[in-house]
Structure 1
Amino acid sequence: MVANPQRRRQLLDAGIDVLAGQGARGLTFRAVDDAAGVPQGTTSNYFANREELLRELGRFVFERLTPDPVPETEAPTRAREVQLMKELLGRARDDRAGFLALYELRLEAVRRPDLADAIADRYAANLDAISAGHVEGGFPGDRRTALLLYLAMSGLILEHLTLPGLLPNDARGVDALVEDLVTAIVPPE
């Protein structure tokens, strides 16, 4: 396999775009080559087969969607939690393809146990980090609060990205829903 990290990332980003636009069934080496704007056969030089490409996309999508760590400098209040959840929603809007690809990978994992294990492990680690960050960061509530907030935001983001007409379609309407979710789930200080 070829070892050019920049080209590999270019292909993985293109794979995310293909998953978001065409679904897992549309994910072929040719489609990734086309989306990346590279010569035909390039993707097959980096990934032995489609299964390897799917596994790598499952790993990569988490890397792509995870923001760079920033030390928390504000007080851990319910209001700060609202800000953080609005930032999460903003990241989903900004990288709609990344989030849609993640949903496609989750659906594909239902049919592929090897992919399911990798995806489930990443989600479990992510959820554990979210819960620990909530509790250790001193935010109101406990690990269950973090879990409920995670589940509510996951559903809101899924609805917002996949059925845009279902929720209020202006940014303020969805932001107001975020405020309502946090207020309903996170106890007052």
Structure 2
Amino acid sequence: MTSDRRTVLADAAIDVLAEDGMRGLTHRAVDRAAALPVGTTSAYYRTRQALLTALVRRLVERDQAELRAAGEELPPLRDADQLAALIAGFVERRLAGEGRRRSLARYACAVESVRHPELRDILVPRENAARDAVRAFLAANGVTDAEARTLTLLACVDGLVFDRLLGGGQVSEPEIRGLVAAALR
């Protein structure tokens, strides 16, 4: 039961962070968001730093599960347009609903990690099936530095997500197609 309660609290903390920002992330706010008695979060995560660390670990766990599932469902990539369409669909999920909340929380944690390197260590990009598929596609299309280009492409996509979260709007498939074309050059 302890791990279930910890997961509920970490998920609630992600929502609080997305809604109220870093200053709004308090033990009491997480208790309210999780619909648990006052003091519950503090009993599981004694300090704010412990709560933040749990939040970041859970955020990465959820992101990795999503990316793993996306990679497992990927058909063999035939062409750049298909890759662009898949990335555009992923980006759309990052800008709406639950994906939007996680994206907002992730960026807040990334900024916080500048002051707390232990968070940076948790947030570092990880291998996953979706990233592997992009790397394999680039390599199969003659890109000699497929690993570096994969990281650059995904960083550019991440930048577009960040920009649209701040300024509103959507990322268009032609924008993604342009990034994929640049990675293939």
TM-score relative to the length of structure 1: 0.80
Number of the residue aligned with 1:64: 62
Work out whether 1:150 is the aligned partner of 2:150.
no
User: What amino acid does structure 1 have at the position aligned with 2:44?
Assistant: Y
CA deviations on 1:37-69 (whole Å, 9 max, x unpaired) are: 211111112212211111111111112223124
Query: Equivalent of 1:96, from 97, 100, 105?
Result: 100
Gaps of 5+ in 1: none
Q: How far apart in 1 are the matches of 2:76 and 2:132?
A: 17
> How many percent identity over aligned positions?
31
CA deviations on 1:87-121 (whole Å, 9 max, x unpaired) are: 220220231010110001111111113223332xx
Contact kept? 1:134, 1:143, Cα under 8 Å: no
Aligned length: 175
Gaps of 5+ in 2: none
TM-score relative to the length of structure 2: 0.81
Alignment of 1:39-50 (within 5 A): 39-50=37-48
Number of the residue aligned with 1:135: 135
Number of the residue aligned with 2:4: 6
Over the aligned positions, Cα root-mean-square deviation in angstroms equals: 2.3
CA deviations on 1:100-144 (whole Å, 9 max, x unpaired) are: 10001111111113223332xx32x24x87654433455533223
Query: Equivalent of 2:84, from 64, 82, 85?
Result: 82
Give how far 1:24 is off.
1.7
